[in-house]
Structure 1
Amino acid sequence: MLVLSRRVGERLMIGDDVVVTILEVRSDGVRLGIDAPRSVVINRAEVIEAVRESNVEATTADDDAVEALRRLMPPRTR
């Protein structure tokens, strides 16, 4: 991990086409501006993790849900 100190108004370059600008520094956080091509996907890590956890939870069925689905199926005949 690269750790840098920056002041308000200073910028970072990521590759040739992504610019991160320090907009504001407060006691509870830092505001960043990100200038990137539309083809570059930018997301907050905590949002991606929450979506990932939600997807895993949605695919996990508990015993009650499985039983409810079984009751919806017609009985098997031989």
Structure 2
Amino acid sequence: MLVLSRKKGESIVIEDQIEITVLAVDGDTVKIGISAPKHVDIFRKEVYLSIQEANRESAAPAQSDLNALINRLRGPKK
């Protein structure tokens, strides 16, 4: 992990396309602004993890249904 110190109004740039700017600091809270191309998805980590969990839950029944279909296509075991 790269650790940087920035003050209010200062930025960092990632890959010439993403700029992260410190907008405000209030106690333990830091407000940041992110400028990125429209095709780049940006999520708070807790939202990202929630999306990933929902995707895993959605895929689980499909995987078991797929396995059941494969077993039916193979026919009875001898």
CA drift of 1:56 comes to 4.6
Give percent identity, aligned residues only.
44
Q: List gaps (5 residues or longer) in structure 2.
A: 62-78
Bigger helix share? 2
Q: List gaps (5 residues or longer) in structure 1.
A: 62-78
Root-mean-square deviation (CA), in Å? 1.8
CA distance in 2, matches of 1:3, 1:57: 34
CA distance in 2, matches of 1:44, 1:6: 20
Rg: which structure is higher?
Answer: 1
- What amino acid is aligned across from residue 24 of structure 1 in structure 2? A
Q: Which residue of 1 aligns with 2:50?
A: 50
CA drift of 1:60 comes to 7.3
